[in-house]
């Protein structure tokens, strides 16, 4: 078996060269002499561009070179003998560099000092690249050190004409000069004589690509439509023939030159149809031809589109919508999708009857099957006609491609797939409707919302793929984020506020509690205390593991204590349940495992939502009402701030304001005003926080951490605050003022974007205008930043893509080179820590 062992080799170097005319002739199987494609019978002309010696694209024909049929023959090159040489556009710059660097008469590399023979041998050959060569281009007047010939300045007239001292150098002359270069001198120009002779860049022969890479397509009307490359080649051959004829007939030099230039144009656009100085060659319809460079280049080119881009079968895509009654590791799919996507199931003597049921139902009834694969690999579509026969034929070894059903494995994905949680394995649930359904709690890892987002679903087709997806990619395996070591999936919005209300305020009759628990999927009510009314804490405790103990803190820092699966103190909020927080979730995960944690999380989530359905949660206008006292103190704060600002402005005008070190007086004033106004807004916020009714729903939403913060409350109730554009108060607009309703050089708060009203009270027109300004600015900012950060991330991900942590905790790349001596500097696996920290104290305590 030794010959089957893999052989490891390292690529040391890759060398690129230019194909030589000799090789072109050698590898070609045809010499193309006529631009005609087909004769009257529609058969390819011998010596034409569709000559069947270059491969076949018609079914039934055989290749004259290799004798194989369509698809078997990979095609063969042909060649055209150009009547006059032309410059290869890709080498135009290199040719210029070389021409400037060598003697016009003897072809020696200019500027080298003449040294005795032995010295030259010892001297290390100084390899110059083409750029360096052009930088040292000799000026007019320099003489060759070897033959003493005077040198002239050579310029290029883009794209392909060279001029020496005002006279044009024809490609023939260019070629003869390049021919004079000796092989020994080539390394000095950065060229390898084994694979690259400079004169090969001036084409005398043109290789004609095989027809297989430029197939013609037959239109419905029976007409043939040729590939762009064939069109271009036809132009080249036609002009080339005309040039030949004119030369042989001894036509005047001008006509020959014109045709020569035309040939140069056609050959250039054959290689690259986007040369800046040339008009692109077009179809009759006016659309530019896609020639060789365009085929390879850019996003739609061969590399990024065909080689790096992949497409899949057994996948589906549609809009997503929420369904909190699904498990977190489930995905709801429409029946229509379920009837298109299939799972191959191999028939054995044990599952024959099971599989026959699917075939009986066929492709139109759910759950049926679409195809049957025979052991020889032949696929048979199940239809009303073939159904009976396939049923009879089915035996062990056959494969039935049955519709996907509840419990099948799938991989669910949302682009951009920025981290590994962007693709997770979900179990199928076939549901009515036309959208993919997912539990809103798994929106966080996908970064999904339901404003029209679409997601992709893939069905693994082999046993190995399914096992791998289930073991490595199932939602519960992705619970703890490797970025910060906390649960990335948690409760959000309603689930947080619901549990907050339940565990903080509520107590309900036991009957209702049982119903509540039953509705979220709990069926064991033993742990509910035997009382007439039970508290919300007791209800919540039922879903916790019986021996779970935990101490933590709420958002505001109050203690939370859970002992033996019962909440003893505190209540639930974002700090313990939220996505990316959830220390309680983290502890459940650690002590009871991922599956249990996911199950509990799903129950907590549903419990929160269900609680709100019973209790109700809404935002009333009166929620943001301030007390009379509160109103007065806000007004006082505002008036005080205004006074301070006015004082500052007066001081400034009276030159009494002292500048901060390193700042101008104007800057100091701005800073001081900003500080004063921000302080006023913050103080108003504090007043709001103190005076507003805590039992009101808007407050509950904010306090539980479900949505919003104190500032947004203050903006609704008291003061919106200063609008800032690029870190400064508003200043742009009219000359020396923001809006024409203010006086020039007015520095007062309201003239510079301070919104002193609340959203509830309503904004003045100019306040509204300032808000629109900042709103537009932030909109622009996000719109411009998103693609930038996306590209930055892509570069990072690509550069780090195959780094791995070795067994000795070093981080190494694919060639085992060390990147870090200890992973992350501290060797901590973040996904096994609590928020990136290993709590040693806790570990010691838990082992006691």
Interface with another protein by CB under 8 A: which residues? 808, 810, 812, 815-819, 821-822, 824-826, 828
Of 253 and 816, CB closest to another protein: 816
Query: Closest distance between another protein and the C-beta of residue 340, in Å?
Result: 49
Distance of CA 388 to the CA centre of its chain: 48
Q: How is residue 158 annotated by DSSP?
A: T
Q: Is the CB of 297 or the CB of 812 nearer to another protein?
A: 812
Residue 792 Cβ vs another protein, minimum distance, rounded to whole Å: 21
In this complex, which beta carbon is closest to another protein, that of residue 629 or of residue 817? 817
d(CA 58, CA 157): 44
Shortest Cβ 833–another protein spacing (Å): 11
Q: Are 492 and 579 in contact (CB under 8 A)?
A: yes
Task: Answer yes or no: are the C-beta atoms of 326 and 345 closer than 8 Å.
Answer: no
Nearest by Cα to 271 from 80, 89, 20, 92 = 89
Q: How far is the CB of 837 from another protein (least distance, A)?
A: 11
Q: Name, in order, each residue with C-beta under 8 angstroms of 739's C-beta and a sequence gap of 6 or more.
A: 733, 751, 766, 769
DSSP per-residue letters across 662-717? TS-HHHHHHHHHHHHHHHHHHHHHHHHHHHS-TTSHHHHHHHHTSS--HHHHHHHH
Name the minimum Å distance from CB 10 to another protein. 11
Shortest separation between residue 836's beta carbon and another protein, angstroms: 9
Phi and psi of 568, rounded to 5°? -95, -35
Pick 416 or 824: Cβ nearer another protein:
824
Instruction: Give the pairing type, strands 399-403 and 754-755.
Output: unpaired
Question: CB-wise, 120 or 819, nearer to another protein?
Answer: 819
Tokens standing for 12?
């040391």
Closer residue to another protein, CB minimum distance, 195 or 818: 818
Axis-axis angle for helices 594-615, 494-504 (nearest 10)? 80
Task: Name which of 10 and 788 has its Cβ closer to another protein.
Answer: 10
Rg (CA), the chain: 39
- Token pair 């409707």 in the structure block, residue: 433
Tell me how far, at minimum, the Cβ of 817 lies from another protein, in Å. Answer: 5
User: In the block, which residue shows the tokens 């064939």?
Assistant: 230
Q: Return the sign of the alpha-carbon dihedral for residues 393, 399, 401, 407.
A: positive
Distance of alpha carbon 365 from alpha carbon 496, whole angstroms: 42
Q: What letter does residue 143 receive in the DSSP assignment?
A: B
Q: Is 149 in contact with 180 (CB distance < 8 Å)?
A: no
Q: Between residues 523 and 816, which has the closer beta carbon with respect to another protein?
A: 816
Least distance CB 349 / another protein (angstroms): 52
The 3-class SS string of 473-499 reads HEHHHHCECCCCCCECCCECCHHHHHH
In the complex, minimum distance from the CB of residue 844 to another protein, in angstroms, rounded to a whole number: 21
Task: Give min distance, CB of 816 to another protein, in A.
Answer: 6
768 vs 821, beta carbon nearer another protein: 821
Residue number with CB closer to another protein (764 or 833): 833
Q: Which is nearer to another protein, 1 or 13 (CB)?
A: 13
- Closest approach, Cβ 121 to another protein, in A, equals 25
- The answer for residues whose C-beta is within 8 angstroms of residue 442's C-beta and 6 or more apart is 328, 424, 475, 489
């Amino acid at each position: 078996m030794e010959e089957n062992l893999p052989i490891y080799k390292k690529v040391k170097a890759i060398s690129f060269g230019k194909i030589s005319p000799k090789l072109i002739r050698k590898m070609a199987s045809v010499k193309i002499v006529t631009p005609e494609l087909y004769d009257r019978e529609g058969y390819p002309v011998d010596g034409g561009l569709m000559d069947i010696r270059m491969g076949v694209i018609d079914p039934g024909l055989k290749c004259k070179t290799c004798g194989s049929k369509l698809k078997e023959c990979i095609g063969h090159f042909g060649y055209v003998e150009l009547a006059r040489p032309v410059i290869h556009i890709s080498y135009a710059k290199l040719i210029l560099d070389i021409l400037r660097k060598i003697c016009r008469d003897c072809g020696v590399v200019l500027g080298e000092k003449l040294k005795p023979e032995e010295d030259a041998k010892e001297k290390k050959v100084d390899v110059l690249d083409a750029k360096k060569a052009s930088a040292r281009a000799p000026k007019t007047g320099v003489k060759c050190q070897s033959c003493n010939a005077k040198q002239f300045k050579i310029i290029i007239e883009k794209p392909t004409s060279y001029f020496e001292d005002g006279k044009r150098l024809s490609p023939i002359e260019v070629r003869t000069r390049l021919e004079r270069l000796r092989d020994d001198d080539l390394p000095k120009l950065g060229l390898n004589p084994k694979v690259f002779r400079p004169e090969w860049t001036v084409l005398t022969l043109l290789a004609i690509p095989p027809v297989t890479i430029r197939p013609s397509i037959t239109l419905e009307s029976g007409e043939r439509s040729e590939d762009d490359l064939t069109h271009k080649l036809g132009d080249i051959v036609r002009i080339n023939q005309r040039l030949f004829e004119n030369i042989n007939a001894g036509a005047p030099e001008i006509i020959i030159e014109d045709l020569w230039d035309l040939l140069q144009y056609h050959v250039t656009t054959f290689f690259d149809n986007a040369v800046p100085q040339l008009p692109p060659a077009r179809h009759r319809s006016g659309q530019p031809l896609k020639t060789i460079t365009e085929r390879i280049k850019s996003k739609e080119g061969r590399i990024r589109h065909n080689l790096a881009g992949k497409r899949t079968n057994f996948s589906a895509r549609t809009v997503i919508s929420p369904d909190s009654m699904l498990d977190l590791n489930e995905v709801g799919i429409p029946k229509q999708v379920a009837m298109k996507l299939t799972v191959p199931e191999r028939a054995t003597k044990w599952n024959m009857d099971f599989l026959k049921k699917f075939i009986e139902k066929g492709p139109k009834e759910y759950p049926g099957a679409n195809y049957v694969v025979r052991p020889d690999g032949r696929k048979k579509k199940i239809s009303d006609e073939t159904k009976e026969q396939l049923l009879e034929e089915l035996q062990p070894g056959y494969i039935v491609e049955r519709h996907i059903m509840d419990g099948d494995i799938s991989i669910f994905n949302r682009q951009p797939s920025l981290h590994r949680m962007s693709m997770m394995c979900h179990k199928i649930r076939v549901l009515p409707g036309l959208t993919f359904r997912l539990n809103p709690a798994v929106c966080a890892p996908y970064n999904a919302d339901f404003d029209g987002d679409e997601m992709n679903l893939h069905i693994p087709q082999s046993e190995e793929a399914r096992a791998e997806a289930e073991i490595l990619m199932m939602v519960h395996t992705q619970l703890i984020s490797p970025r910060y070591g906390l649960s990335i999936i948690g409760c959000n919005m309603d689930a947080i506020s619901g549990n907050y209300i339940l565990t903080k305020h509520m107590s309900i009759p036991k009957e209702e509690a049982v119903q509540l628990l039953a509705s979220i999927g709990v069926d064991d009510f033993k742990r509910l205390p035997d009382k007439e009314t039970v508290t919300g804490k007791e209800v919540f405790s039922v879903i916790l593991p019986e021996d779970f103990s935990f101490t933590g803190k709420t958002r505001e820092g109050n203690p939370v204590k859970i002992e033996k699966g019962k909440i003893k103190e505190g209540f639930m909020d974002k700090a313990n349940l939220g996505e990316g927080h959830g220390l309680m979730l983290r502890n459940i995960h650690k002590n009871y495992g991922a599956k249990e944690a996911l199950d509990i999380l799903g129950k907590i989530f549903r419990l929160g939502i269900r609680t709100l359905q019973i209790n109700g949660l809404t935002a009333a206008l009166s929620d943001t009402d301030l007390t009379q006292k509160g109103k007065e103190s806000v007004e006082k704060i505002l008036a005080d701030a205004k006074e301070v600002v006015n004082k500052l402005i007066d001081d400034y005008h009276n030159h009494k304001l002292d500048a901060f070190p390193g700042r101008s007086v104007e800057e100091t004033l701005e800073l001081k005003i900003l500080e004063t106004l921000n302080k006023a807004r913050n103080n108003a916020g504090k007043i709001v926080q103190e005076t507003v009714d805590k039992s009101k729903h808007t407050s509950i939403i904010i306090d539980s951490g479900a949505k919003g913060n104190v500032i947004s409350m203050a903006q609704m109730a008291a003061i919106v605050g200063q609008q800032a554009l690029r870190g400064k108060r508003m200043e742009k607009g009219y000359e020396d003022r923001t809006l024409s309703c203010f006086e020039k050089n007015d520095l007062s708060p309201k003239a510079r974007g301070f919104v002193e009203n609340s959203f509830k009270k309503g904004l003045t027109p100019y306040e509204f205008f300032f808000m629109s300004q900042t709103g537009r600015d932030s909109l622009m900012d996000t719109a411009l930043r998103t693609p930038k950060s996306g590209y930055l991330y892509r570069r990072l991900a690509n550069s780090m893509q195959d780094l791995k942590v070795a067994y000795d905790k070093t981080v190494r790349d694919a060639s085992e080179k060390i990147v870090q001596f200890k992973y992350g500097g501290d060797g901590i696996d973040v996904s096994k820590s609590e928020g990136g920290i290993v709590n040693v104290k806790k570990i010691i305590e838990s082992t006691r």
